[in-house]
A and B are shown apart, each in its own frame.
Chain A
């Protein structure tokens, strides 16, 4: 019980502490792949610190919503990220760590961000919000369908259960799981505004999705949003990690040493995921905006097929 509370506390801090590092890894590997030297791994931390110290410039017609949103988004994403088992499934709040709850938390964060994008009334904010919602209307059902098919396999939507079940040897290689993995990766790319859906490092206002929405933010508000997007990326990596690559995650009964090992393994998983993401992003161009629905539609179809396949195989 005490260990669980302790682990939960560590996890809360850990996700915030590691999220910028993951961004740093992705940027660094991308820079190396494109023949640049690249910024040091800790650069995202410095950026956030710098933004925290900077003055906030607010548009004259910004409402309270615009000021509150960064904190709402950060809080929502932080809670969601803290619920996903990273190195241990023995979390104090694991009973709330329901996949549907996580999707809902992220959804409400996005809802507020989209509202804030339109709040100031600039054209870029509106474009960004409208594109973000278009992507979300497709990504969310794909995500939920994946959740359902996983829940059907594991018999629960609770992440610790799913993770523990999938880590157990009785689960063999399953087509449904493979389809779920691909679907979840596509959703993760879309949700985190990565290439080929969005380009996180562009300066071209007209092509942006996520960045266009937050274009008017500055100072600590922007720091909150940047940290929240880093957390979201970490969340998806942890999610894919704990469901599909659950090896080494500490179980509730394990001791301290086992937990420490799991922690190291988790950081290694982050590094691998960051490298793979950077590799993928450098090898592909961004899609035309209206090609994105087809891309995410693939995820939706895969998730649906995965769920159907379960029923088909069960009835045989």
Chain B
């Protein structure tokens, strides 16, 4: 009997340069993989479906290899991974909502994306007319003097919609249960049979603050599937944009987290810096968020001399101001009192969920796709991946602060070494169905995009897995035992994407 661990054997250089091999497995082996996940031998990177099968992407952190398994959904069912490995639960529930494949043996049969507002059920599967909507029951909580606090989906601030159901005892949170799907846009369905160019636009609109990372991951997946060679200058410009995006988002986050502890000064200062980054992006790439700048085959925008100077000035500017903000944070005892020891995610939990980005790295999961599954041009750049073990709000802020400095250094290196050359290469025509995997480190963590192209080069299927899939559940764990008044602070320190997860 073949071993699952041997199937997870695709190195970064392989899947980044050519089509991603997919191993078809029997339901029995599929279940064995779930067992390996539950034992912590593998990390789940994603779980998705098409009309006839279910796939999952796995990562072996000891060997640094990746693998994608596929099992047929026989009679519309497949063995549940979530029954053994909790991180797969929400992914399976959305597979069931969209395609109708039933995870057999799953402990949670409630819908996830389908709120009963669709006209059809299983829109990507059999697409039958929707029946009566069953009521959504939150998990029962029992005990003395408990009461529930329902927050959202519409919030007082201008933020994305999501529902949080707290069960509290006095001020202490006993359980938090999240409910999402309010921003489901049917992107998977829009992607089906779409040309690659349209797919790139859709990918760039999945989660607005990570548009560069998404567009890059999508481009990677398509380029790998077709075996395309991308001009070197385009790769470097992509990295430049990705670092600018990371910089802007981290600066915004640091200010916003402190503001949730009513320390408005930090927000004011950080917002100024973030605005400068966005303006510099607008000046150099023609769009504040750099949307649609990365396209399959290369980049749509070049960087000219003025833009380069603008970015150099920006780096100098932030290098001058940012250290004093770090010092302000470090020296404001009342602020540290709020962030230290609040909302702790244990390293074991972060590893189990394979949490990426600052959530994972603040809890001892030393993983960064730029370093551990390297892609050009990061293999030629020098940078460090900060890592803390405390797992509290403070650690997540410190990781962001360290990453701001790393991004500044990367931007300088890129600007110094930026090679000359073409921006865009024609995508080759494969003439046969191909599949490719894209994995890019966005500011929240690793974004996984898997595309299946048909013989005409159109998208047969595209799955985009936001890093938030493996971070939102950790927020439920982090708030347990904390007081409910600290939830906004914890939530902001995670800053997960609603839109990216709801798709």
A residues with CB within 8 A of B: 30, 33-36, 123-124, 126-127, 130, 195-196, 199, 201-207, 282-291
Contact = CB atoms under 8 A, between A and B. Distances in A.
B1 interface: no
Contact of A205 (B156, B334, B337): B156
Top 6 closest pairs, chain A to chain B, by CB: A286-B262, A34-B268, A285-B335, A285-B263, A199-B262, A203-B156
A203 B151 CA distance: 13
A84 B150 CA distance: 42
A123 B148 contact: yes
B171 A290 contact: yes
Given A196-B334, A285-B338, A288-B483, 8 more contacts: A123-B147, A199-B262, A204-B156, A205-B156, A282-B265, A284-B334, A285-B261, A288-B486
A288 B338 contact: yes
Interface of B: 147-151, 155-157, 170-171, 258, 260-265, 267-269, 272, 332, 334-335, 337-338, 483-488
Contacts of B150: 123
B334 A287 contact: yes
B209 to A, nearest CB: 20
Contacts of A205: 151, 155-156
Given A34-B268, A285-B338, A287-B334, A123 B149 contact: yes
Nearest to A288: B338
B267 A34 contact: yes
A270 to B, nearest CB: 22
A289 B171 contact: yes
Contact of A289 (B265, B269, B483): B483
Contacts of B148: 123
A129 B264 CA distance: 26
A35 B156 contact: no
Interface centre among B170, B264, B269 (most CB of A within 10 A): B264
23 contacts: A33-B265, A34-B264, A34-B265, A34-B267, A34-B268, A35-B268, A35-B272, A123-B147, A123-B149, A124-B149, A127-B171, A127-B484, A205-B151, A206-B151, A206-B484, A206-B485, A285-B262, A285-B335, A286-B263, A286-B338, A288-B338, A288-B486, A289-B485
Nearest to A35: B268
Interface centre among A34, A126, A288 (most CB of B within 10 A): A288
Nearest to A194: B262
A206 B164 CA distance: 11
Contacts of A290: 171, 483
Contacts of A201: 264
B186 to A, nearest CB: 30
A30 to B, nearest CB: 7
Contacts of A284: 263, 332, 334
A124 B166 CA distance: 12
A285 B332 CA distance: 8
Contacts of B265: 33-34, 282-283
Contacts of B171: 127, 289-290
B96 to A, nearest CB: 32
B334 A285 contact: yes
B486 A30 contact: no
Contact of A287 (B156, B258, B272, B337): B337
Contacts of A30: 264
A203 B170 CA distance: 22
Nearest to B261: A285
Contacts of A287: 334, 337-338
Contacts of B487: 206
B58 to A, nearest CB: 38
B269 A35 contact: yes
A37 to B, nearest CB: 12
Nearest to A195: B262
Contacts of B332: 284-285
A124 B265 CA distance: 27
Nearest to A215: B156
A206 B337 CA distance: 19
A207 B487 CA distance: 8
Contacts of B147: 123, 126
Contacts of A34: 264-265, 267-268
A204 B268 contact: no
A288 B486 CA distance: 7
Given A127-B149, A286-B338, A202 B485 contact: no
Interface centre among B171, B267, B269 (most CB of A within 10 A): B171
A293 to B, nearest CB: 12
A60 B262 CA distance: 34
B343 to A, nearest CB: 12
Contacts of B335: 285
A196 B335 CA distance: 10
Interface centre among A33, A124, A204, A284 (most CB of B within 10 A): A204
B268 to A, nearest CB: 4
